[in-house]
Every structure is written in C-alpha cells, then in structure tokens.
Amino acid sequence: MKRQQSNPNKKNVLIIIRNLKMGGLEIHALNLVDAWIEQNIEVHLLHFKPKIELTINKKLHLHYFNYEKIFALTGIGLIYQIITKIILRSILPKSSFVFSGAYGGLMLRWKIRKLEQKYNKFDKIIMVGQGSFEHVWNYNDKRLYLMIVSPFNKPQHNFLDKFYTKLRFSNKNIVANSSGTKKSMQEKLQKYGLKAKSLTIIPNPCPIEKIIKLSKEKISIPVKDYIVQVGRLTYQKNQPLLLEAYKIANIKESLIIVGADRDNGATLKKLQQLAKELKIDKKVFFVGEKQNPYPWMRAAKLFVLSSVHEGFGFVNVESLACGTPVVAVDCPGGIRDILIEEQAKLIAKNNPQDLADKINYALKNPIKIKTHWFNRFDATAISQQFLQLK
C-alpha cells in the first residue's frame, strides 16, 4: 500500500471510540480532536459504530471499522460469533465482550497496522470509554492508553468479576478523568490483587473560548430570574432530588431544566407529576434539549447539579465558564476537583434539605467567579497532557 504523503516530523495521534452519537463521552473525544488539530497535530479517529450525530472537524482523518462484520466474513468468524453469542453468553452472564474482545483485539491490531502503512506511525493511541476497549481487550501496545470517564460500582468479590476486570484493565495504561474515577479504579484493582501498568489523572478537555462565545447568543427565555440545571432526564442526574430541594428552598426564582428525555417521555411525565405534587409546577420549566445550552446557563443566577454520580462533572466547568456559580451535591466523581476555594462552600450533602440550604446561601451570598477555576481545564492544555504521557 502506498504511503500517503505527510510530514514525518508532525505528531500523529489515533483516538478510538465506540460511536459518535450525541453524548458527553463523544463530545469530550471531539474536544480533544479539535485541540490537537489546532496545534497542527495529525489526528485519526477510529469508530466501531456507523451512526454519526456530531459535527466532525474537516481536518480529522475519520475511519469506520466494523470489526465484527469483517471477522464474520471469514466464515470461521461467523461460526465463532454464533457459538459465543448464542451458547456461551447463556453460560457466562455479561461475558459477550470476553469472546468478541478475543478476536476484536486481533482485528484492531490488523487495522492499525494498515493505517500506519498508509500514514505515519502513531505516537499515541487513546481509547475512550469502557464500551470501546472491552470489546477489543486483547489489543495491547505501549502507546495505548485507556481513558475511563466514570466511577465503577463497588466491586463484588467473585470469580467472574475478577476475571472480567483482569481482561479489561490488568497491566494496562489507564487515564482517569477525575480523582474520584481514579480512586474507584484503584479500589477495583486492589480488591482482586491486580495492578495497572500506569494510572494517571487527566481531566476532560473544555473548549473555554468556544463556550464563552456560544453563551452570548441571543435567545428567548420564558422567565427573567431563575436557577438552572442542564442534563438529560435520567436516574443518574437525579432531578427528583432537585425538585424536592427547590420546594424546600422556597425561593422567588423559577427553576429551568434543560435536557432531553430519552425514555419516550416517561421520565418527563414522572417529573412533571412530582412538580405538581410538590405544588411547584407553575415555577418549574422543562424546556427540552438545546443544541446550545450555554445562553441558558449564562443568564441563570445559579446552576444546580443533583447527580447520583458524575465521571468528571464537565457541566460544572461549562457553567463557571459562562459566569454562573454552581451548587452541587457531593457525589462520586470529579466534583471536588472542579469546585475549589469559595466554590467549595456550595457543595451540598446528598439530601434535599442541605441542597436547599446551599441554594439559598448561594443566592444570598453571590460569589465572583475566578478565571483560573475554569481555565485550568482548557482543551489546549489538557490535550498536551495526553501527548506527554510516558
């Protein structure tokens, strides 16, 4: 295969992700891509699922790789897939990745070798999200770093979980996006007497300038004085806690919740019903998902996070960049990595009363946001940390 002309002195990075749907994990990956491209780095992105819902940088080398289909076309691969999916999965629950990863890793090695024959050798290979690397766990390379973005559930000591953990993470280079995620990874490995090759913290990259610019877009907002939450209507975001705290806080400001219901409207109906039961429905506005949520954040008096857990808590950085203080529950993840100094006073216990107290305190004692609270997460600086990994 003829090598494509490129500058041999130019850094060359491969980022691997399962899909490019509209989601936080995928957006963080593309923030990395954009930051690297701005620094004149050649970037390739390999994705396993065909659907693309996000805007892709025109300078990005995009590669779709359906390793399962390619393997199935070998005939032997098709038989192997049938056996593993129909028979072995019923014997070993949650084990489909064990078998797909055995051949997926081999197929990925072949694909990367083909890409390097066409382009230059990759300096770094970053694989984003557990859904990406568990199905190619058999692939290993000293240039490979696995990026985990959310804490694990407390490990249950059993043979299967130990076996699955060993396949995914043992003797691998791992990058956690927060101290909470790192701690969770350490606990899981230590529980089973396993070790990672390396375990580093690198926060999610945030395109600060872009967010500030987008936050100034003119929009129509139904009320003038309000507090806001931006996030999907899900169990993890825990909007019932937010509604209960809002009821207790008894503030004059309205509550606007920006986010989509991915459960065919069922979750939205439950939350609307709860708002009625709490007799706050006249002051609570569910405005749905917004392509640009930043003007909603910028115009708010306060941003409130009520999550059960967060991998990093990226939305908190976004709110600070928009100039809006944050009240957040002290959930597992990166909350305390982000909310420092005066902002740390607005971290609440995970109950309605304390969250309500912090909302009232924040409104009565507005803080002046310092630029270093969010600039330390700027995408350019964060992207450089990945290149400096050894």
208-375 belongs to which CATH class? alpha beta
Task: Assess contact for 228 and 304: CB atoms under 8 A.
Answer: yes
Rounded to an integer, what is the distance from CA 32 to the centroid of its chain?
12
Domain segments of the chain as ranges: 12-206+379-387, 208-375
H helical segments located in 198-290:
208-215, 239-249, 266-277
Q: Give the span between the Cα atoms of 303 and 229, in whole angstroms.
A: 6
Q: Give the span between the Cα atoms of 176 and 213, in whole angstroms.
A: 29
Tokens of 84: 């593993």
Handedness of CA 25, 30, 35, 39 (dihedral sign): positive
12-206+379-387: which CATH number, 3.30.470.20, 3.40.120.10, 3.40.50.300, 3.40.50.2000?
A: 3.40.50.2000
Tokens of 377: 């997460």
Q: Give the span between the Cα atoms of 282 and 287, in whole angstroms.
A: 14
Task: Assess contact for 251 and 363: CB atoms under 8 A.
Answer: yes
Handedness of CA 367, 340, 30, 263 (dihedral sign): negative
- Residues 6+ away with beta carbon under 8 Å from 325: 302, 303, 319, 343, 346, 362, 366, 367, 369
- Residues 6+ away with beta carbon under 8 Å from 276: none
The candidate with the shortest Cα–Cα distance to 215, out of 384, 385, 369, is 369
| Local confidence pLDDT in tens for the 390 residues of the chain | 455 555 666 899 999 999 998 778 898 899 999 999 999 999 999 999 999 989 899 999 999 998 777 766 666 666 666 666 666 666 666 656 677 777 788 889 999 999 999 999 999 999 998 888 888 988 999 999 999 988 776 656 677 788 888 988 999 999 999 998 999 999 999 999 999 999 999 999 999 999 999 999 999 999 999 999 999 999 999 999 999 999 999 999 999 999 999 888 999 999 999 999 999 999 999 999 998 999 999 999 999 999 998 888 889 999 999 999 999 999 988 899 999 999 999 999 999 999 999 999 999 999 999 999 999 999 999 999 999 998
